[in-house]
Amino acid sequence: MANDTDTVAFDVIDGIAWVRFNRPDKRNAMSPTLNRAMMEVLDELEFRSDVAVLVLTGEGAAWTAGMDLKEYFRETEAEGLKGVRRSQRESYGWWRRLRWYQKPTIAMVNGWCFGGGYGPLFACDLAFAADEAKFGLSEINWGILPGGGATKVAVELLPFRKAMYHALLGEPIDGKTAAEWGLVNESVPLAQLKDRVSEVAKILRAKNPVALKATKDAIRRVGVMTYDEAEDYLVRAQEAANSFDNEGRKEGIRQFIDEKSYKPGLGAYDK
Ligand code: ACO
């Protein structure tokens, strides 16, 4: 099934949702309109039974050239604090949604990735880049600090010296360097990028979805915990995940609604 809005497009093919930033003429810069459309698309896809994996990529030469300097910054700033806060909520909102998405997610970085683009880059569980892609914290080049989480993403993913160099100099790096530095998992020639991402997505598609969600959340959560906190969290997360697979609850409902063999208000179902 395919769908297109003005600024975000997607296709669902064999369990993989291919979602695309779709403003190629503007190098897929994230405007408020795009941010709202992306949240709607994520909403639409998250719990669909025909979607096992989500891939986020870009139409044309860019993955995303970051925030739209005209529509996201200049025009919302002209509305005052109310406009600024609204546009922040809209962008940070879908990045946060993506960080904790129900399905595993892959960033397929086909081209330019700047500034605010580091939000969705980090939000995706895995990231694969074209060798030809270019990544940059370009904020310093036009006079702001890397906001919207971009500084945090750099520090999470890069060693201290590289993060500092990347943010202070504003020099773009290519996909190969991004992979060496740890911004992405791998870099391959652009012509091979979709095949490689398809291969990885198919491997994920075959795994237990409850275990995938529990595992991706655990990887994101335990980093800020002590060992003992992590151990405790992981025990509880494992037990919670097990309960998702608990067929017994369904059996309890079946015996009450369909079989009418017991009353849950008065006692337990027959195991
Ligand atoms: N915001 C708004 N418009 C943009 C953006 C952006 N971030 N990036 C590109 N565009 C627009 C251009 O203004 C231009 O519009 P026009 O055709 O109406 O004149 C169109 O997209 C094409 O851009 P070009 O610069 O002509 O494309 P080119 O391929 O030569 O260069 C590049 C691509 C390097 C990505 C360049 O557009 C660029 O430097 N963009 C800004 C990148 C950036 O610093 N983003 C902000 C990061 S900071 C943050 O997100 C908080």
| 114 Cβ closer than 6 Å to some ligand 1 atom | yes
| 29 Cβ closer than 6 Å to some ligand 1 atom | yes
pLDDT higher than 60, residue 3: no
Side-chain half-sphere exposure of 21, counting CA atoms within 13 A: 33
Please choose from 27, 114, 118 the residue to mutate so as to test ligand 1's pocket, defined by most ligand atoms within 8 A of CB: 27
| 139 Cβ closer than 6 Å to some ligand 1 atom | yes
| 115 Cβ closer than 6 Å to some ligand 1 atom | yes
- 271 band by pLDDT with thresholds 50, 70 and 90: confident
Determine which residue's CA is closest to atom 44 belonging to ligand 1: 138
Neighbours of 186 (CB within 10 A): 16
The whole-chain average pLDDT of the chain stands at 94
- Tell me the per-residue pLDDT of 130-174, one tens digit each, with 9 for 90 and over: 999 999 999 999 999 999 999 999 999 999 999 999 999 999 999
Q: Which residue has the tokens 């027959």?
A: 270
Range 18-44 average pLDDT? 98
Structure-token pair, residue 103:
């399905």
| 153 Cβ closer than 6 Å to some ligand 1 atom | no
- Tell me the per-residue pLDDT of 214-249, one tens digit each, with 9 for 90 and over: 999 999 999 999 999 999 999 999 998 888 766 677
- Cα(18) to ligand 1 centroid in Å equals 24
- Cα(26) to ligand 1 centroid in Å equals 6
- Cα(84) to ligand 1 centroid in Å equals 20
| 71 Cβ closer than 6 Å to some ligand 1 atom | no
Ligand 1 atom nearest 142 alpha carbon:
44
- 250 band by pLDDT with thresholds 50, 70 and 90: confident
**Which ipTM did the prediction report?**
0.99
pLDDT at 1: 43
- 76 band by pLDDT with thresholds 50, 70 and 90: very high
pLDDT at 5: 59
- Cα(56) to ligand 1 centroid in Å equals 19
Range 24-38 average pLDDT? 98
| 148 Cβ closer than 6 Å to some ligand 1 atom | yes
Ligand 1 atom nearest 69 alpha carbon:
1
Determine which residue's CA is closest to atom 41 belonging to ligand 1: 65
